[in-house]
């Protein structure tokens, strides 16, 4: 991740040199971190040598900051360099809609290093891919904050000597606290033990736990926690009863002895540090922000067994630390903040010395995956930069299997979130199937040949013209006459229910849905003798999601949804997920008066509560069956028809690719 090179669809600069950035704590090896610490130890020498003389650092903070920004700026000036900054990113070109990619490119020409904080996960990685100078992540959404971790580790090392073997309790909002995520990876790498003490519902995210397990060989062990419940107080007694599942510890090796100790001992572990964090309200939905939260109170100071336990906090604190701690030597959070300057001086010097050097190879990284198709898998994290600003990103993933069942997992290269692969396909033969671990060998082959397509849904595969890897014989369910009369009836009903036909907007889901939408609109126009506005909604693409449907008047204004009576048209409602995505695009794009749903076929296997208002035909067949609407013109069909067929399991299909109703096989 640390070496960056522009490979995005926009502004691709093939000849750029790779550059050393710091996006994740994983971008630094342990030796490099030690080297930075040695530089920080010699801060006086750095101050007199002024190694950044003539260099400029730009700070781009899209989120509030005091410590990180000021300590970076102070560090740069103490190194002899200077600083340029936007006092408020909201008053920069961002307000005019400038992309991260453009900002990164432009500011690269003004500065020798960029320090960026952003509220989207992965945003700093995206900027680094477009910048021509090193970029430092000063916090990206709820993802990582690697320079805070350098300060934290340095503080621990100053206080405790070595990091190996320490036991650090991380407390509070472990879910949204980016400082925590970088910190636990680093502690794991240096061989420290981590005890997690999360506020209720704010446990370490799954992707962090999985990464700890896969990349650092750490395992989770439940622990008895009476000794912690004695010192942590909370507004209501929601958590911290012994053996709650969120009281977990991460140990380098969970051998039987440790396990037995953990299970049986209420006390006995030596805690070297408590690392407390603030509730990250700005990353929470309304209700969650009011949930109760632990605090470290004065009891902590009186407990004999915590007499050597230091209390850390990345700051700002709200009310999770008792003021009594400020007056006790164990409250070291202000010292921790002060180390921000020498550590960031050391980091800047370290990066300047390696401007053109590649980063060390990341630890245990899985192979990278990029979809060979235009539509490809999307990250499931709604705060990921790949969803917030697709144009500045390059949708890359790590691909690996986990567990005994060999579940196939994609990990987003920007925000690290992981999700399960549901459908895979072969680009060459244009066949797809649901993923099954018996396909692992096959998948490796496809991946190697860059032929592996991954889809979020069957619908997406079908949109790209993929056929099931193997299917049973097709049986016709509706012919062209039946389809035409169903559409005519639906059109009549739509017009009947419509309060103001001038406000009607027919929106088809691309691509079969939009064909049907055109036919419905034509029917209505026929009945009303007036033009009806017609649009198309693209669920899986990036960029323009709702557009007028051709042939549109080139001078026509963009479609407005405000106060419209929208009829969303799709061919088949199976699980309802596509419709749900379409609805969220609609509500994101404007405020219609109403949205009603028209589908030719309703399968009724609904996973989401969407109920069509107008249905051509109900076909509640089994889950394994696929119903497809084939329209003349679209799939070289001569006549419209609706067919049903069964999809045969991928394992059988791969073993005997040429058997059965389909001739074309996955192996081509
Ligand atoms: C942290 C941050 O911004 O993530 N602050 C910091 O950089 N020292 C912690 C926080 O805001 O709670």
Give per-residue pLDDT as tens, 591-619: 888 999 999 999 886 777 778 999 999 99
Q: How far, in Å, is the centroid of ligand 1 from the Cα of 330?
A: 20
167-181, 207-221, 426-440, 459-473 — which is least confidently predicted?
Answer: 207-221
pLDDT band at 155 (very low <50, low <70, confident <90, very high): very high
pLDDT tens profile 536-587: 988 765 445 788 885 556 667 778 888 999 999 999 988 787 888 788 788 8
- Is 661 or 370 the better-scoring residue by pLDDT? 370
Ligand 1 contacts CB of residue 145 (under 6 A): yes
Burial class, 660, CB count within 10 angstroms (exposed 0-12 / middle 13-18 / buried 19+): middle
Looking from the CA of residue 315, the nearest atom of ligand 1 is: 8
Q: Which two tokens stand for residue 244?
A: 């709650």
Report which secondary-structure segment, H or E, holds 630.
strand 625-630
C-alpha–C-alpha distance, residues 139 and 240, integer Å: 29
Strand bridging mode 431-434 / 232-234? unpaired
C-alpha of residue 349 to centroid of ligand 1, in Å: 23
- The beta strands (E) that lie in 242-326 are given as 247-251, 273-276, 294-296, 310-312
> Residue 569: which of 630, 647, 515 has the closest Cα?
515
Q: What is the pLDDT of residue 241?
A: 24
- Average pLDDT (211-235) is 62
Q: How far apart are alpha carbons 116 and 139 in whole angstroms? A: 7
* The two structure tokens encoding residue 298: 């004065």
Distance CA 310, CA 313 (A): 10
* Least confident range of 186-200, 355-369, 491-505, 634-648: 355-369
Least confident of 226-240, 277-291, 359-373: 226-240
Q: How far apart are CA 507 and CA 509, in angstroms?
A: 7
Angle between helices 340-353 and 30-41 (to 10 degrees): 120
Measured in Å, residue 440 CA sits from the centre of ligand 1 at: 42
| Residue 404 DSSP SS3 | coil
Does ligand 1 have an atom closer than 6 angstroms to the CB of 178? yes
Quote the ligand 1 centre to 515 CA distance (angstroms). Answer: 51
Pocket of ligand 1 contains residue 276 by CB under 6 Å: no
Gap between the Cα atoms of 79 and 73, Å rounded: 10
Distance 197 CA to ligand 1 centre (A): 18
Q: Where are the beta strands (DSSP E) in 130-209?
A: 135-140, 167-172, 193-198
Mean pLDDT confidence for 297-317: 87
**Would you say residue 428 has pLDDT above 80?**
yes
**Which of the residue ranges 251-255, 352-356, 524-528, 644-648 has the most confident prediction, judged by mean pLDDT?**
524-528
**Are residues 503 and 564 in contact, defined by beta-carbon separation less than 8 angstroms?**
yes
In a 10 Å sphere around its CB, with 0-12 CB exposed, 13-18 middle and 19+ buried, how is residue 121 labelled? buried
Separation of alpha carbons 435 and 454, rounded Å: 9
Given ligand 1 and candidates 115, 138, 145, which is best to mutate, with the most ligand atoms within 8 Å of its CB?
A: 145
Q: Considering only CA atoms, which residue is closest to atom 12 of ligand 1?
A: 278
Q: 472-493 burial by CB neighbour count: b if 16+ within 10 A, else e?
A: beeeebbeeebbeebbeebbee
Give percent above pLDDT 90 in the chain: 47
Is residue 316 reached through a cis peptide bond, with omega within 30 degrees of 0 on the bond before it? Answer: yes
Q: Is residue 226 pLDDT above 70, yes or no?
A: no
Residue 117 near ligand 1, beta carbon < 6 Å: no
Evaluate: CB of 176 within 6 angstroms of ligand 1: no
Cis amide leading into 145 (omega within 30):
no
| Residue whose CB lies within 8 A of the most ligand 1 atoms, among 69, 118, 144, 148, for a mutation test | 148
The dihedrals phi and psi of 205, each to the nearest 5 degrees, come to: -65, 155
Q: Has residue 202 got a pLDDT over 70? A: yes
The verdict on the CB of residue 630 being under 6 Å from ligand 1 is no
pLDDT for res 553: 65
Mean per-residue pLDDT for 472-492? 94
Q: What confidence tens digit (pLDDT) does each residue in 61-110 have?
A: 999 999 999 999 999 999 999 999 987 787 777 777 899 999 999 999 99
- Rounded CA-CA distance 302/317 in Å is 22
Return the H-helix or E-strand segment holding 519.
helix 512-528
Residue 405 confidence (pLDDT): 72
pLDDT band at 144 (very low <50, low <70, confident <90, very high): very high
Ligand 1 pocket residue status of 314, Cβ below 6 Å = yes
Residue 4: CA count within 13 A, CB half-sphere = 29
CB 509 within 8 A of CB 537: yes
Q: What is the mean pLDDT of residues 425-453?
A: 87
Contact of 523 with 491, CB cutoff 8 Å? yes
Average pLDDT over residues 194-208: 82
Residue 191 pLDDT > 90, yes or no? no
Q: Look at phi and psi of residue 629 and say left if phi exceeds 0, alpha if psi is from -120 to 50, else beta.
A: beta
The DSSP element (H or E) to which 491 belongs, if any, is helix 480-497
CA 637 from centre of chain = 40
Check pLDDT > 50 for residue 22: yes
Counting residues of the chain whose pLDDT is more than 70, the rounded percentage is 82
Residue of 181, 314, 335, 338 with the most ligand 1 atoms within 8 Å of its CB, for mutation: 314
**254 pLDDT exceeds 50?**
no
Contact 314, 343 (CB under 8 A): no
Residue 185: pLDDT band with limits 50, 70, 90: very high
Q: What number is the average pLDDT over the span 471-487? A: 92
Task: Calculate the average pLDDT of the chain.
Answer: 82
Please tell me which residue, 170 or 125, carries the higher pLDDT value.
125
pTM: 0.75
């Amino acid at each position: 991740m640390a070496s960056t090179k522009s490979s995005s669809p926009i502004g691709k600069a093939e000849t750029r040199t790779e550059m050393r950035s710091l996006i994740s704590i994983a971008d630094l090896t342990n030796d490099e971190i030690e080297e930075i610490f040695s530089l920080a130890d010699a801060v006086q020498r750095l101050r007199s040598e002024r190694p950044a003389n003539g260099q400029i650092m730009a700070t781009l903070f899209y989120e509030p900051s005091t410590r990180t920004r000021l300590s970076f700026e102070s560090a740069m000036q103490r190194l002899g360099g200077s600083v340029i900054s936007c006092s408020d990113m909201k008053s920069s070109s961002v307000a005019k809609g400038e992309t991260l990619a453009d900002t990164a490119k432009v500011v690269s020409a003004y500065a020798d290093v960029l320090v960026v904080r952003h509220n989207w996960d992965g945003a700093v990685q995206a900027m680094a891919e477009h910048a021509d100078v090193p970029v430092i992540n000063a916090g990206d959404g709820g993802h990582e904050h690697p320079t805070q971790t350098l300060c934290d580790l340095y503080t621990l090392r100053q206080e405790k000597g070595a990091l190996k073997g320490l036991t650090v309790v991380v407390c509070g909002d472990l879910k949204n606290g980016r400082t925590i995520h970088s910190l636990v990876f680093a502690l794991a790498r240096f061989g420290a033990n981590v005890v997690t003490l999360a506020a209720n519902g704010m446990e370490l995210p799954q992707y962090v736990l999985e990464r700890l397990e896969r990349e650092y060989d750490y395992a989770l062990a439940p622990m008895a926690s009476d000794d912690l419940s004695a010192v942590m107080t909370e507004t209501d007694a929601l958590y911290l009863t012994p053996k709650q599942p969120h009281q977990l510890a991460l140990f380098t090796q969970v051998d039987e002895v440790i396990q037995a100790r953990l299970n049986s001992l209420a006390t006995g572990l030596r805690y070297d540090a408590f690392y407390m964090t603030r509730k990250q309200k700005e990353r929470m939905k309304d209700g969650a922000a009011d949930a109760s939260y632990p605090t470290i109170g004065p009891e902590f100071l009186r407990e004999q067994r915590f007499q050597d336990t230091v209390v850390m906090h990345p700051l700002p604190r709200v009310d999770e630390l008792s003021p009594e701690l400020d007056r006790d030597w164990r409250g070291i959070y202000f010292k921790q903040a002060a180390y921000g300057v020498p550590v960031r001086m050391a980091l800047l010097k370290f990066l300047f010395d390696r401007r053109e050097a590649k980063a060390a190879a990341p630890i245990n990284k899985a192979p990278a995956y990029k979809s060979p198709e235009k539509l490809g898998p999307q990250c499931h994290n709604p705060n990921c930069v790949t969803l917030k600003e697709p144009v500045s990103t390059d949708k890359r993933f790590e691909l690996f299997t986990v567990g005994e069942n060999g579940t196939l997992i994609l990990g987003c290269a920007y925000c690290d979130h992981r999700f399960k692969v549901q459908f895979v396909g072969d680009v060459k033969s244009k066949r797809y199937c649901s993923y099954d671990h018996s396909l692992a060998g096959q998948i490796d082959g496809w991946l190697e040949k860059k032929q592996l397509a991954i889809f979020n849904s069957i619908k997406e595969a079908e949109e790209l013209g993929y056929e099931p890897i193997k299917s049973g014989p097709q049986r016709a369910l509706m012919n062209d006459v039946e389809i035409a009369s169903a559409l005519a009836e639906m059109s009549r009903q739509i017009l009947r229910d419509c309060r103001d036909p001038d406000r009607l907007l027919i929106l088809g889901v691309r691509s079969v849905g939009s064909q049907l939408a055109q036919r419905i609109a034509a029917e209505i126009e026929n009945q009303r003798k007036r033009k009806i506005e017609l649009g198309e909604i693209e669920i899986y693409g990036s960029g323009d999601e709702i557009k007028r449907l051709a042939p549109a008047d080139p001078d026509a204004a963009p479609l407005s949804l405000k106060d419209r009576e929208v009829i969303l048209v799709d061919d088949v409602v199976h699980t309802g997920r596509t419709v749900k995505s379409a609805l969220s695009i609609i509500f994101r794009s404007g405020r219609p008066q109403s949205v009603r749903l028209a589908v030719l076929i309703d399968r009724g296997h609904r996973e989401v509560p969407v109920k069509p208002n107008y249905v051509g035909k109900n076909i509640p067949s089994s889950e394994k069956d696929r119903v497809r609407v084939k329209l003349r013109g679209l799939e070289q069909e001569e006549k419209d028809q609706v067919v049903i067929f069964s999809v045969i399991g991928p394992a059988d299909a791969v073993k005997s690719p040429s058997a059965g109703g389909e001739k074309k096989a996955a192996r081509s």
